Structure 1
Amino acid sequence: MRFSGRYEGYSLANLQKDMLAGLVVGIVAIPLAMAFAIACGVRPEYGIYTTIIAGILVSIFGGSKYQIAGPTGAFVPILLGIVMQYGYENLLIAGFMAGILLIIMGVCKLGRFITFIPRPVMIGFTTGIAVIIFSGQIANFLGLHHLEKQETFFYNMKEIGTNIAELNPYSILTAFLCLGIVIAATKWLPRIPGALLGLVISSLIATLLFPNQIETIGTTYGDIPHQLPDFQMPEFTWDTVLMLLPAACIIAALGGIESLLSAMVADNMANSKHNSNKELVGQGIANMVAPLFGGIPATGAIARTATNIKNGATSPVSGMIHGIVVLLVLLFLSPLAFHIPLASMAPILMVVAWNMSEKHEFIHILKTKTGDTLVLFLTFLLTVFTDLTTGVSVGLLLAFLLFIGKMSKSLRVRKVLPDPVDSYVKSDIVANGKNCPQISIFTVEGPLFFGTIKEF
């Protein structure tokens, strides 16, 4: 059989490599899928559903050969806020609407414009999201599982401080054990998924040494269903659409940015080239279908995509196999999730937050003490202490104003004296200039727009 397009030259050897890569990244994705779902305020199996559906559909319809899609840390504060304000059912509607918007963006060929967002804004909100994810897991790390969740960083920290006397030492021991295993495995056993290893070992030890002393997925959420949910179309009303449109726009924008960044990382690692507009369409299809089966919004996952490439992926088949692996685990091994401690999920997300924080570039931009420093710091603070929408909006506005100011200073206007030697001045104009003192000739170098009007 001969293949064309992305599968041109595909062989049995390629299939074997894709199967291995898909197996590894599928195993990596399972604990992350549950952890991200819990962090978003929904049941853990919804993250599994998302990984299966988005992972397969983005591989089929997307524009990158190596993209791995699923729930990601970048979405956590946004989706948690939507769930707290509107509920899980409306989150599904917002995700479906975001899928439509992503398809429109792809069809209108807006892929390349998404990457024009200033780097300080990107670093600011990414690091802000990392802080929100990290701080959001402190309660589970300490065993404070029954705290009332708040929408802001400040009130969540206040709630933890108020209830700190109720911390559970067994949860803390379990969390530190899992954290230590994840860090050690990452350093000394890079071929083994550290998150899965930490989750399994800490769960076994907690179950054997202090059963019934800490909260688990089972005690908090009950049994995990070992099947995909039935197809169910969300109930749309005009009022609901208007209410959720801002949330859907945020999901679509962030999902588009994250997926294209992930695709660019894949291009750099594998010396390939993705189709940004096709990738947006693929992400849109996945986000339209996932909510129909209970899934939450998804996007390209940079770390899982990198894992896919490092393990020898050669085509989108590896992404499809990754989704199939997660499906098989759901069908046959989901009862085991009952015994996973919530304290074991917390350090996994904390490590994810640490890795996504862009800490080195954050510090570098702060040290430059330029306009970028102000944009970065303001975006970061507003993302953490208000919300992502405010942080990004203000950051973009400030970056835009600073850019206009910089461009307005770059214009150079120079008066040209009438001189027949000047090759770019017509001789008749020069002659007229000699006889007509009211005529002046200027050269303009730089951008000519409303911000430079004062130069005239």
Structure 2
Amino acid sequence: MTAAPAPASAQRAARAIRSLLPAATDYRDVRRTWKGDLVAGITVGIVALPLALAFGVSSGAGAASGLITAIVAGVVAAVFGGSNVQVSGPTGAMVVVLAPIIAAHGLGALAIVGVLAGLMVLATGVLRLGRAVTFIPWPVIEGFTLGIAVIIFLQQVPSALGVPATEGVNAVVGAVDAVTRASWPDAAWALVVVAVVAAIMLAAPRIHPLVPGSIIAIVVATVVTALAAAPVATIGELPSGLPAPVVPAIDLETLGALLLPAATVAALAAIESLLSARVAATISDTGPYDADRELVGQGLASVASALFGGMPATGAIARTAVNVRSGGRTRLAAVLHAVLLAGIVAVGAAVVAAIPLAALAGVLMVTATRMISLATVRTVMGATRADATVFVGTAIVTVSVDLITAVLVGIAVAAFLALRTLARSSGVHREELPAPAAAGDDRIALFRLEGALFFGAAERMLQRVGALRDVDVVIIRMSQLQLLDATGAQVITELIHALERRGVTVLVKGIQGRHLELATRVGVIASLRHRNHLFDDLAAAVEHARSHTRRAAEAHG
């Protein structure tokens, strides 16, 4: 017997699941691009090493945690993600979110937060919510980025001065506190290290764009401080390999305490990863990215990283850009970058342990300054007053409160300003009746509605038309109305009822087909005195209005 074909719904579900999983087509171009992928993987690995160490230390999780994240999450996200060139790992934005969580709940909470956040991001991908990031306005993204850069820079001030960071305080407060606690001349040594690292990193691109300035800077700083026996703190002992995975124990009390922090981490991971993938798609010819699959990959990457003792991961815009510009065209490049980092951990852990923390602070300070594009800031500030307000407000809230609050506030303010602009673009205009004029035309009012008639603009129309006196007929033209919501339709209904109660006949002309169903459901059509008072043609509506005035004149005569 022949098996019955699967239902269409089951086939669609199977296709949807397959679209979120790795496929052989992900590597169809490797035979052609493997040389470029190899070079890009090595280049990105060299760039990622100091950043992984620095982000791990800055978050409070430790340098080893940053390396584990870059290795484990880098491989998992490359294999399961939705972008061919995305490079994932620890990022500055994630550090900004994780640092207060670790300070408040302890290092033991890191694995639990990573698993919970990863599962949340995975769920958003399975539920096909990947395109939601496109609703975040550009000024919000740029303000968010500016705020992150400021926080990253300020978080490095304690290490740059050779003093331990104050836990549980705002980045601005922590930086000021570090300055007051600096001990001289030890702080001078740390500042010299920061200055040397910054100078080398800034000079390296002038020699050649592919010169790994951060690696050279760290090597120079490590050698000089070791030879001079400088009184600077170093990274300390690192594991010589990846630890065994451990599933964190989660009880209801812990779950309740960490659910909101995990949701914050998940929101950031999703937003940053999708933004990075979108940027990569615009600067490379490797094809579009799958937003939903990218979320699935990033969710799995964070879960895997947490099990091995790492941090939640996101797509890293800077490393992804380096990957593309270095010749990376397939997922092989991101996998190779993680393999290189694993090799460094295996054979060079003792050398890495001697790196001064001040050198990592210098790397992150330069990285933070490079996140700020003065050209972009000028563009946003010079666009419109509303865009500038959203940009500055988002940046301030990011620095003073937290990242997710900043995004939510930025979106809310942007939405409010957009609605206000939309409301102002709507119009209620009284027009002259078409020629030739006829007796009684002064008793007819013709109004044209245009733009948007929604909850933000409907009241103005009600006031304008409802204030009419000394007219017998009102014609409402709706053919140029671009947007109509339930509030706008209800206001039109109320207006018609109010005018009809005063004995004023209301004619409606030109309801568009896309608005007719809503107008019918809300009661616009039913509120008319007669079904014949709904017109498609202006001339017919005007002639009908004139017939009313003629009959009114005859009755009075």
TM-score (norm 1): 0.89
Q: Which has the higher contact order (CA 8 A, sep 6+)?
A: 1
* Partner of residue 179, structure 1: 198
SS at match of 2:61: coil
CA contact (8 A) 2:100 2:167 kept: no
Q: CA deviation at 1:258?
A: 1.3
Q: CA deviation at 1:416?
A: 8.3
* Partner of residue 163, structure 1: 181
Q: 1:208-357, aligned counterparts within 5 Å?
A: 208=227, 210-218=228-236, 223-271=237-285, 272-357=287-372
* Partner of residue 475, structure 2: 440
* Partner of residue 399, structure 1: 414
User: Which digits, 9 at most, give the CA deviation of each residue in 1:230-275, with x for residues without a partner?
Assistant: 1111111222222222222221221112111211222122122111
- Say yes or no: does 1:377 pair with 2:392: yes
SS at match of 1:88: coil
Alpha-carbon distance change, 14 to 231 in structure 1, aligned in 2, over 3 angstroms: same
Q: Which runs of 5+ in 2 are unaligned?
A: 1-22, 436-470, 496-557
Question: In 2, Cα distance between the equivalents of 1:451 and 1:376?
Answer: 31
Question: In 1, Cα distance between the equivalents of 2:407 and 2:491?
Answer: 30
SS at match of 2:135: coil
Instruction: Letter of the 1:253 partner, please give it.
Output: A
Question: In 2, Cα distance between the equivalents of 1:449 and 1:408?
Answer: 12
- Say yes or no: does 1:89 pair with 2:108: yes
Q: CA deviation at 1:454?
A: 7.1
SS at match of 1:213: coil
CA contact (8 A) 1:84 1:151 kept: no
Q: CA deviation at 1:153?
A: 2.7
Q: Which runs of 5+ in 1 are unaligned?
A: 421-435
Alpha-carbon distance change, 254 to 418 in structure 1, aligned in 2, over 3 angstroms: same
Question: In 2, Cα distance between the equivalents of 1:239 and 1:363?
Answer: 48
Question: In 2, Cα distance between the equivalents of 1:274 and 1:393?
Answer: 25
SS at match of 1:314: coil
Question: In 2, Cα distance between the equivalents of 1:160 and 1:385?
Answer: 18
SS at match of 2:477: strand
Question: In 2, Cα distance between the equivalents of 1:454 and 1:405?
Answer: 18
SS at match of 1:445: strand
TM-score (norm 2): 0.73
Question: In 2, Cα distance between the equivalents of 1:193 and 1:16?
Answer: 19
CA contact (8 A) 1:67 1:301 kept: yes
CA contact (8 A) 1:407 1:451 kept: no
CA contact (8 A) 2:267 2:404 kept: no
Alpha-carbon distance change, 358 to 236 in structure 1, aligned in 2, over 3 angstroms: farther
Give the ranges of 4+ consecutive aligned residues of structure 1 lying more than 6 Å apart after TM superposition.
Answer: 415-420, 453-456
Q: CA deviation at 1:369?
A: 5.4
- Say yes or no: does 1:48 pair with 2:67: yes
Alpha-carbon distance change, 47 to 147 in structure 1, aligned in 2, over 3 angstroms: closer
Farther-moved stretch of structure 1 (134-143 vs 51-60): 134-143
Q: CA deviation at 1:90?
A: 1.3
Farther-moved stretch of structure 1 (48-57 vs 258-267): 258-267
Q: CA deviation at 1:154?
A: 3.5
Alpha-carbon distance change, 157 to 27 in structure 1, aligned in 2, over 3 angstroms: closer
Alpha-carbon distance change, 400 to 171 in structure 1, aligned in 2, over 3 angstroms: same
CA contact (8 A) 1:95 1:248 kept: yes
Among 166, 178, 203, the residue aligned to 2:222: 203
CA contact (8 A) 1:133 1:349 kept: yes
Count of residue pairs the alignment pairs up:
433
SS at match of 1:312: coil
Q: CA deviation at 1:129?
A: 1.0
Q: CA deviation at 1:110?
A: 1.1
SS at match of 1:442: strand
Farther-moved stretch of structure 1 (172-181 vs 45-54): 172-181
Q: CA deviation at 1:373?
A: 1.6
- Say yes or no: does 1:119 pair with 2:138: yes
Q: 1:12-27, aligned counterparts within 5 Å?
A: 13-27=32-46
CA contact (8 A) 1:412 1:446 kept: no
* Partner of residue 134, structure 1: 153
Higher-Rg structure is: 2
User: Which digits, 9 at most, give the CA deviation of each residue in 1:331-364, with x for residues without a partner?
Assistant: 1111111211111111100111111124432233
CA contact (8 A) 1:22 1:322 kept: yes
* Partner of residue 433, structure 1: none
Question: In 2, Cα distance between the equivalents of 1:73 and 1:147?
Answer: 17
* Partner of residue 428, structure 1: none
Instruction: Letter of the 1:290 partner, please give it.
Output: S
* Partner of residue 6, structure 1: 26
CA contact (8 A) 1:176 1:347 kept: yes
Alpha-carbon distance change, 19 to 385 in structure 1, aligned in 2, over 3 angstroms: same
Instruction: Letter of the 2:175 partner, please give it.
Output: M
CA contact (8 A) 1:413 1:445 kept: no
Question: In 2, Cα distance between the equivalents of 1:336 and 1:451?
Answer: 68
Alpha-carbon distance change, 147 to 303 in structure 1, aligned in 2, over 3 angstroms: closer
User: Which digits, 9 at most, give the CA deviation of each residue in 1:258-301, with x for residues without a partner?
Assistant: 11121122212212211111111100110111100001011111
CA contact (8 A) 1:405 1:451 kept: no
CA contact (8 A) 1:203 1:340 kept: yes
* Partner of residue 425, structure 1: none
User: Which digits, 9 at most, give the CA deviation of each residue in 1:121-172, with x for residues without a partner?
Assistant: 111121111101101112212222x342342133213312322354522222
Question: In 2, Cα distance between the equivalents of 1:194 and 1:154?
Answer: 28
Question: In 1, Cα distance between the equivalents of 2:242 and 2:261?
Answer: 26
